[in-house]
Amino acid sequence: MPDYLKRVGRDVTDDILVRVPETEKKLARQGGPATKRLSIDRGSIPSVAAPFEGQMMIQYADEAVGSTAVSPDVGDTFIGEQPYYFSNQEWRPFASGIALNAQTEWLEVTSTSVSGISTGTLTLSHLSGPALVTSGAVTTRGVYTIDAVCLAISNASSRNKFQFLLNMVQTAFTAATFAQDVYSDVLADTPEGTISITGVMDIGDTFLLQVFNEDTGSRNFSCPSVRVTRILDLS
């Protein structure tokens, strides 16, 4: 086989002048800027010490924002498996304007005596969970649902019938009302009923839980389970 000499002279110089720029462009395309990431990271957003503009992350589990700078759309907690991006010095959700962070507060109602053929208002007080309701009024605009299990806890003297009334008293809209009738023909029975209502509420709008005692005698009423859930944060 013939043995060819190595390339020398002008041919080698021309080859280098072509190959070096092409190689530099290829490396630049693969590497990119020092802060550029090729995919969305997944991890703990509150633990990111120095996020950069445009950074995107998927939160791996529900975690309080702590001292992390966030937009009002984020809420109090980063929600697991939800994507967020860093812009203008704040973490923001991709679903702009809506924080998908449902929270639940449990309320309790002490026993309330209601005279026969009259209406009484049941007082809601905080039991556990985040404080979504203060003195019956919501503290953040959002979509809320309230579920209540109410019962009569004393014997009836006659008809043993009453009606639950659950209102959303809204300052900007007509109040939404839902009623539940409960009846038992056993005088010694302790009848109960479940009532629920859902709607958009602004700051200061209130829940009003009432009972109409259709019995001719006085009755004591209580709610062993009252749950308020903020489904969507619209603040």
Alpha-carbon 71 to chain mean position = 15
Measured CA distances, 53 to 32, 85, 87, 91 (Å) = 16, 8, 5, 10
Cα angle value 152/155/156 (rounded, 5°): 90
Q: Structure tokens of 216? A: 């001719």
Distance CA 159, CA 121 (A): 21
Question: According to the model, what pLDDT value does residue 123 have?
Answer: 87
What pLDDT score was predicted for residue 46? Answer: 92
pLDDT at 3: 61
Q: What is the token pair recorded at 26?
A: 């290829």
Q: Which domains does the chain have, with CATH numbers?
A: 41-93 (no CATH), 103-233 (2.60.120.40)
Place of tokens 């959303």: 168
What pLDDT, on a 0 to 100 scale, did the predictor assign at position 168? 85
List the one residue out of 223, 204, 207, 203 whose CA is nearest residue 146: 207
pLDDT of residue 44: 93
Report the pLDDT value the prediction gives residue 7, as an integer from 0 to 100: 58
Does residue 44 contact residue 62 with C-beta atoms inside 8 Å? Answer: no
Q: What are phi and psi of 59, to 5 degrees?
A: -70, 130
State residue 186's pLDDT score: 57
Residue 155 is predicted with a pLDDT of: 57
Kindly write down the DSSP assignment for every residue of 27-48, as one continuous string: HHHHH-STT--SS-EEE-GGG-
**pLDDT computed for residue 132 by the predictor:** 92
Q: Which residues of the chain have pLDDT under 50?
A: 97
- The contacts of residue 71 (CB under 8 Å, 6+ apart) are 90, 91, 92, 93
What is residue 86's predicted lDDT score, i.e. its pLDDT? 93
55 vs 84, 125, 141, CA distance in Å?
A: 8, 43, 29
Element (H, E) at 105: strand 103-114
Reading phi first (left if > 0) and then psi (alpha if -120 to 50, else beta), residue 115 is in beta
pLDDT, residue 188, reads 57
How many Å apart are CA 142 and CA 60, to the nearest integer?
Answer: 25
Q: pTM value? A: 0.56
Helices and strands in the chain, H and E counts: 1, 17
Return the number of other C-beta atoms located less than 10 Å from residue 170's C-beta. 16
